[in-house]
Amino acid sequence: MPRKLTDRSTAPAASNAGTAGVPRATEKRAGRGSEVPGSAAPGSYATDDARWEAVTGRDARADGRFVYSVSSTGVYCRPSCASRQPRRENVRFHENCAAAEAAGFRACKRCQPNGVSPADLDAARMAEACRRIEAAETPPNPVELARAAGLSRFHFHRLFKRVVGVTPGQFFARTRAERMKEELRRSSTVTQAIYDAGFQSSSRFYDASDKALGMTPTQFRDGGAGLAVRYATAPCSLGYVLVAATERGICAVFLGDTPHSLEAQLREEFPRALLQAGAAGLSDWLRAVVKEVERPGGKFQLPLDVRGTVFQQRVWEALRRIPAGETATYSEIAAAIGAPSAVRAVASACASNRLAVLVPCHRAVRIGGALSGYRWGVERKKTLLQRERTDGSAG
């Protein structure tokens, strides 16, 4: 089981402008397996050793992935069961409750593995909280949100951050940014978009748009026209790397065979931006990115200007929590962000990633570990993973 994953970047993602057509951040929970918010790190419990580690650690993230039975008691439990830890030689692992019952074991009355798990209940409550936040015109009162969930304010805030991956205030800011972008695309004027998006004054709208869009509302409506993007290229062992940045931070890292092909990619991604070639002011960042290409998995401290929808950003955050040298399937990533049925959308978000290596979409694989779907080539993906594993085993 992978160790607890943390975000290696010290700079927050800046803007949130991206494409539509992906699932919303939350969907109504119709039953087990439906989409809810989440932020648990992707993990694998394919081996008995990994499963035993989950049992000894009472890892709630493993609930629903398998159950274990105890021969001395005749019962089977969730991995997170709080009952006394059994002896390893008395433990067997089963894929699900039906398999355990077919083997002659009965459900534990304490953890009730054949019922709704505490994690599912928490996720359902947080999904409802997300719906309340999405429907709000102004930042919801945290006390009222906690009361609606039946929790104290402290417990609610901690649980929301753990399940959703961001604070209630951050979630509101992101959903309002989505609303802002939608209205800017739909409304005939910026002034109309201000009020349709629920803002009471233009000053608040422009303050929020600067943080959410990384550009002025007019620039956003014009497809990023006038946005200044500096870029530079450098050779590396995988061919060439291009690093592009706005005033907020690095907005693109591309890998390719020639500088010309990389510049063409950049023009395609930012068709109406003011592109400025040259390494002036980018040399340190360019060297840091090349170093990350040559020895991926290191700790970097680079400001990032991440542009995407709420859903895409949740996927990219999950990718950054996968430790170097390890991989996660698209299904595991979907489950980790609380959207287990959105596997295709997760794969699409990985393919839309503009920050090669820094947002390590090369660590996303198919079930069984098959390598495919890397926008900069499967061979580069294979090389990056081999380097991470080699460095990890050497260290």
CA distance 246 to 363: 26
H or E stretch covering 285:
helix 283-294
Looking at residue 148, its amino acid is A
pLDDT of residue 338: 77
Q: What tokens appear for 87 in the block? A: 């002896």
- Using a 10 angstrom Cβ sphere, with 0-12 exposed, 13-18 middle and 19 or more buried, the burial of residue 142 is middle
CA distance 138 to 75: 50
Q: Do domains 48-107 and 310-394 have the same CATH topology?
A: no
Q: What tokens appear for 51 in the block? A: 């499963």
Q: Which fold has domain 48-107?
A: DNA Methylphosphotriester Repair Domain (3.40.10)
Residue with tokens 């102004």: 138
Active site residue 108: no
Other beta carbons within 10 Å of 146 = 20
Least Cα distance to 6 among 377, 322, 222 occurs for: 322
> Running DSSP on this structure, what letter comes out for residue 250?
E
pLDDT of residue 203: 53
Q: Where are the domains of the chain?
A: 48-107, 310-394
At residue 142, the 3 state secondary structure works out as helix
Residue with tokens 């709420």: 310
Catalytic residue among 77, 81, 111, 251: 77
| Cβ atoms of residues 103 and 94 within 8 Å | yes
Active site residue 236: no
The CATH number that domain 310-394 falls under is 1.10.10.10
pLDDT of residue 371: 78
Residue with tokens 């002659």: 104
Give the bridge partners for 235, in sequence order: 240
| Cβ atoms of residues 323 and 2 within 8 Å | yes
Considering the entire predicted model, what is its pTM? 0.55
> Running DSSP on this structure, what letter comes out for residue 114?
T
Residues of the chain whose pLDDT is less than 70?
1-44, 181-226, 279, 298, 392-395
pLDDT of residue 280: 75
User: What is the 3 state secondary structure string of 315-345?
Assistant: HHHHHHCCCCCCCEEHHHHHHHCCCCCCHHH
DSSP per-residue letters across 345-367: HHHHHHHT--BTTTS-GGGEE-T
CA distance 395 to 391: 6
